[in-house]
Amino acid sequence: MRRRICALRVAAAIHGQARVEARLRHSAILLDRWGWMIGTGIYLEDVDTTLARIDAQAASNIDRTVTWIGVIALAAIASIAVQT
């Protein structure tokens, strides 16, 4: 039994469906005796979907923060204007 660490882009069926998607295989164990290879990996579509969701949440958080900074700045300016 040999273990190889590698990063390969492969096409693989998704969860028993007929559709084939890109997959990143990153680790494999070669079982020479039987001519098998057992590997792990992730579907790149899942990664892209997750990253898109994270980007959307980050953009929303940035917009909310900028809005609050603007509101606080306007309140500070109004407070200073009233005092003078």
Contact present, 46 and 23 (Cβ < 8 Å): no
Here the tokens at position 8 are 């390969």
- Would you say 23 and 9 are in contact if contact means Cβ atoms under 8 Å apart? yes
Q: How confident is the model at residue 45 (pLDDT cuts 50, 70, 90)?
A: confident
Can you tell me the distance from the alpha carbon of 22 to that of 72, in angstroms, rounded to the nearest whole number?
47
Q: Where are the domains of the chain?
A: 2-83
Q: Output the pTM of the full model.
A: 0.58
Q: Higher model confidence: residue 38 or residue 27?
A: 38
